[in-house]
Amino acid sequence: MQPPEAVTVDGHDPSAEPTHPVPTSWVARLGLAGVGMCAGWFGPIQVLLGLQAASLAPDHKEATLSLVTGIGAAVSTVANPLAGAFSDRTTSRWGRRVPWVVGGTLVGAVGLVLLAMATTVPGMVLGWCLVQAGLNGTLAALTAAIPDLVPVEQRGLVSGVVGMTQTLGIVVGTGVATLVAGTTAAYLVLAVLVVAAVTPFVLGSLDRPLPRGHLPRIGVGAFLAGFWISPRRHPDFAWAWATRFLATIANSICTMYLLFFLTDAVGVEDPELGVLVLTLLYAACLVVSAMVAGAWSDRLGVRKPFVMVSGVVMSCAAALLAIVQTWSAALVGAVILGIGYGVYLAVDFALITQVLPRADDRARDLGVINIANALPQVLAPAIAGPIITWFAAHGTHADGYRALYLLAAAIGIAAALLIRKIRTVD
């Protein structure tokens, strides 16, 4: 059922496709919020959770890291689409998205504080689950703001900025985790940083209230049923989901065990500093490629060729890490992976916003897409942990990482091929 056209705010129909470009200041505030949110995620993922796992369970550090990140990712697969669906129907006078940005950020910050205080593995699990639940609520609202407000012809550029801020968040989070003395202090710094970075977006949001009565009331059954988006009725959405799922698994495999890869396979003397150096290289290349690819995709009016090429480039990086396990090869691999993933982040999200099934449910549908981001965080540890453990018992850690990265390369190629199935976007 389409909402009545008369139910608008200041002549604005919340379901309508935006036609006016958003100002640069809004894009900057969105980007800053993304940096803070991603710092709160990736500081723990890249360094702090691994260090904490090694401290609390030194004989089972890989399994402990897999347990904590896996349970947290399972929480995120539920939290993101739920927060998105509720925000689609939020009628607060502050808008649909802002209340969820605020609430999610505060919950995520509390989770980081609990991680700082954790002295047991269950404490780690609780803190990380709160971080995942809260920041996924923030993510659902922030990503929905793009199709809410940004016209199609500007989305490649804005998506490039969002992709760039994710990487800057990785750099900031990894920098805090590496340079701040002690995991406790690092977690607390990240908690403050997340709140500070999101505040300007909240204060300067262009979010508009959803008028009461704009959307019909629905029962619990219909609400839950809405999370199933039929691949038969919406095949392009399904192929976009599958592509995002595979590409994220490949990238997660390449990055999630980087600390242990440098320690056990490459054998660098200071693996924490090594992670920071590789992350900086990866980030610099991703920032440049995301901005260039996003603007170039807008100019040409095409998305799929960029996404296909990015999958192949990421696979090349994974293959290099598998075949040549040296510090020099890791540096080159970081450059290649950054270029490929930058192009992917910039253009794939713009493509996804063009295949969303229903304008009234943008945040919910993007939340379903974000399951393809979160689920690999469950599967990547489930895949990586047993592979590394088996090879460590029957061969060497280096053999385990070789098999793991070759698998990532194959998955990346599969993602590049699947994007060809999308028909309604060039």
Quote the pTM value: 0.73
Which element (helix H / strand E) includes 62?
A: helix 61-88
Strands (E), 240-394: none
CATH number of the domain within which 81 lies: 1.20.1250.20
What does the pLDDT read at residue 269?
Answer: 83
Task: Please indicate, yes or no, if residue 214 is contained in any of the structural domains.
Answer: no
Task: Please indicate, yes or no, if residue 159 is contained in any of the structural domains.
Answer: yes
DSSP per-residue string spanning 371-425: HHHHHHHHHHHHHHHHHHHHHHHHS-HHHHHHHHHHHHHHHHHHHHHHGGG--S-
What does the pLDDT read at residue 318?
Answer: 92
Whether 254 and 309 have beta carbons less than 8 Å apart is answered as: no
What does the pLDDT read at residue 88?
Answer: 78
CA pair distance 212, 378, nearest whole angstrom: 38
Sign of the CA dihedral running 193, 197, 203, 207: negative
CA pair distance 26, 310, nearest whole angstrom: 28
Coil/strand/helix, residue 212: coil
What does the pLDDT read at residue 9?
Answer: 39
Q: Identify the residue whose tokens are 């349970």.
A: 71
Task: Please indicate, yes or no, if residue 158 is contained in any of the structural domains.
Answer: yes
CA pair distance 349, 158, nearest whole angstrom: 10
Coil/strand/helix, residue 9: strand
Q: Is 299 left (phi over 0), alpha (psi -120 to 50) or beta?
A: alpha
Question: What φ, ψ does residue 349 adopt, rounded to 5°?
Answer: -65, -40
Task: Please indicate, yes or no, if residue 211 is contained in any of the structural domains.
Answer: no
Task: Please indicate, yes or no, if residue 216 is contained in any of the structural domains.
Answer: no
The list of the chain residues with pLDDT below 70 reads 1-16, 210-227, 359-360, 377-378
90's tokens: 């939020």
* Parent domain of 323: 24-206+226-421
CA pair distance 423, 356, nearest whole angstrom: 13
Task: Please indicate, yes or no, if residue 51 is contained in any of the structural domains.
Answer: yes
Tally the domains of the chain. 1
What does the pLDDT read at residue 188?
Answer: 95
What does the pLDDT read at residue 14?
Answer: 62
CA-based radius of gyration for the chain: 21
Spell out the residues 6+ positions from residue 323 whose beta carbon is closer than 8 angstroms to its own: 329, 402
Task: Please indicate, yes or no, if residue 13 is contained in any of the structural domains.
Answer: no
CA pair distance 265, 244, nearest whole angstrom: 29
What does the pLDDT read at residue 370?
Answer: 78
CA 208 vs. chain centroid, Å, equals 25
Task: Please indicate, yes or no, if residue 3 is contained in any of the structural domains.
Answer: no
